[in-house]
Structure 1
């Protein structure tokens, strides 16, 4: 009886750094049983190309223009539930892992992962499994709750887009002094050096 060959795993790569994206595409294209059907450099493009090409697995970076990888994962979970999302990122703080898992991702790997491990992860999630390094799983379970108030979180989230106190005050309908005070409080609570460092810490912890 003739054996029917298995369909290849169809993969979408979403990464805003062109050199890295091309490297990932090249590496996965060499793997048997895996075919890269689409590429994207930002969140909206990733969603559009996923709708167009219907991949089995989307390898998505967290920090992308437009919509971050976790937002993309959440939308794909609703619109294309058969597409499994594998997060590949340099932002591997425990809070970020928890946020990604809540969005329904099937795997989470750091960007310094090897080509073989990445290919194995794609195959695992395509088969319905999950990929999460043990140290990240433990850290995610032990992650602490955010010390920031809701307003401090809103202010810091706007600061992450590059907005200064004046613009933040306008968007949140608060005074300049109040916006500045919220930023100062957020920096202090996170033991950060400045607002940029506070954004980094909060992002890594998955609090924004």
Structure 2
């Protein structure tokens, strides 16, 4: 009998290790066979003859834990707060611009109406005066009087042209005021949209800072 040390093999299944590949246990040792270590080593080998390699765990991988809400870091909190402040500032600026435009429109409209009425009255009176001057100029025989009447008539014509230009200017202002009203209505609608988005953003921030809802209870 050889003096070679023979390892003791336990036949208790609970004490056998779990092997990644099929393990072929060696024959029972009865003294007439020598222990063949190739059976034991071959149990841990791959089918192609190589030894299995164990990959080290990536330290950057964080296992996902269901049921635990995402916590914001400091950078994410700062970005959300900055976005909320920008939305509030934009909404406040548009509201202020709309209010200022409404005030300017209310202050300007009475003056425009007054100027338009005055220009129309002056135009009617001027037409009558021009007719009178033309009639007097046709009937006069005095050269000096004719020169004076022609000078007055030129002045009346110049004044009438100035009134026409003024009337055209007022009409343009009224058209611009109408366009401004349409723009104000559009801006007011955008302000309402921004206010709704601001409310939604606040709710999202509260939900994320609060950790979301409760985890579902197990039955």
TM-score, normalised to structure 1, is 0.18
By relative contact order (CA 8 Å, sep 6+), the higher-ranking structure is 2
TM-score, normalised to structure 2, is 0.17
Q: Bigger radius of gyration, 1 or 2?
A: 2
Q: Which has the higher strand share?
A: 1
